[in-house]
Structure 1
Amino acid sequence: MKPDFDDFDDDTGSYDRGVNEQIGDSGVLLRRAIDIIATAPNMPLSSTPRIDRDEIIEILEEALHRLPDELRQARWMMKERDEFIARTRREADEVIEAAKVQAERFVQRAEVVRAAEQRARQIAEAADDDARRVKNEMEDFLDQRLASFEILLDKLVKTVATGRRRLSIGERQDEGSLSLNDEPIVESYSDDSGAIFFDQDNTSGR
């Protein structure tokens, strides 16, 4: 709860009023003596005031008699005032310190939140980087595999073409042997490159 320092000022003012009231009796007596002297009539044919000596002495003695008690009361009241002020200052300092601690806690919480948000951003950025890296690696892998398949298919196409050429040559040779029965049969063969070779040594029936 926030202390109301205006209330403290009002309370200390009440101490001042209490002190004034406690020492007021002597002041009243002294003021009464002064008034008697100030309003006393002068003696005939003289400027000397005519006063009742016994009355003045009695008033002053009574004021002097009351003064020590009033001074003690005043000192006690001043001590109470000082203790009250010190106590209220301690309470105010405690409230201020508690407010500082609370503010530090809020700051620490805010720092924790900021640190958590920063860490979350770092994790998200790292995840994005990993995703991009994995994607690039996968694309490279697929490109390499497709290139290998392309080479393999190209070899397969060439092999099929070679086989077809061999088959076509064999068919033509069969047709030639049917139309030229009295001619020597010449065997031929080809290598992997498709070149055709003839063997004239191997001939059969004429």
Structure 2
Amino acid sequence: MDKLEVNIVELLEYLQDIIESAPKVPITGKSMVDKKEFNEVIDQIINYLPDQFKKAQWVMNEKDRILGDAQKEYETVKKETVKMMKHNVENHDIVKEAKIRGAEILALAQRDAKAIRIGSREYSNEILSELDKELEDKKSKLIQLMQKSFEVVAKEIDENMSNASITIKENIAELRNM
């Protein structure tokens, strides 16, 4: 054991003696120590520690900061990479060609839709025209039937009225002869 290790061990044993010989607080069982004396011993221990321990402590402290910085850098690079990849994909020839082909398909679909609309209008117009013609025919036939029926009814009414008139004239003549 070298002198450095002996001094550190002696100081740690001294701290242990301070704690063991310190007065106890009633009920709690805790010890009261002289804070100033305790801190002075700790400072002496720190001063005896070799520089490698101090450097190791500094490295440990810096580790978290370095990891944090690395994580931030990673996120930034990741975002930039995703952005760059999106840009490259959008500007790639296949994507451009797909956009052109998509526009062509859309134009073709719009043209087909227009043709279908025109065809359906023409079909509807044809059907409605046939329906109109059929209604006109039915109307003419109905009017002719109604005219014939009206003529028959009018003829019957005329005959009935004529017969009634003849009967009335006969009755008048009979009354005059009485």
Per the normalisation by structure 2, the TM-score is 0.43
Larger gyration radius, structure 1 or structure 2? 1
Identify which of structures 1 and 2 has the higher relative contact order when contacts are C-alpha pairs closer than 8 Å and 6+ apart.
1
Per the normalisation by structure 1, the TM-score is 0.38
* Structure 1 or 2: more helix by fraction: 2
